[in-house]
Amino acid sequence: MQQRERASGGQATAAAASLNRGAKRRAGPEPMDDETLHVSDISELLDKLRTDIISEISPIKLQLAEHTTRLQILESDRQRALLGTPPPPPAAPGKHALCQ
């Protein structure tokens, strides 16, 4: 009788261990304490990275817009010179005639 109980107890232990291994396999590898990143940590890092990138790009975008405007003005002046068209009336101080 005791042998039967031991045998069935051994089978139960083996079945429990098998279920436990299956659950661990589905859950993936166990996280490491010091190296574990939680979703909130990753979100914070991504937000910081996004902010850093935007702060680096914004001045470049502003410079690009300024250079593009200057190039457009130079191109219009060149076209006028090629066609012999008189220059536009004087612009307000600090502005080009096309920007009025």
- Per residue in 16-60, pLDDT (tens digit) is 665 565 555 555 555 555 567 788 888 899 999 999 999 999 999
Q: pTM score, two decimals?
A: 0.42
pLDDT in tens, 71-95: 999 999 999 888 888 777 776 776 6
The conformation of residue 69, written as its DSSP 8-state character, comes to: H
CB atoms within 10 A of CB 76: 16
User: So where are the chain's domains?
Assistant: 2-26+39-83
- Residue 51 and residue 45: Cα distance in Å, rounded? 10
Q: Greatest CA span in the chain, whole angstroms?
A: 116
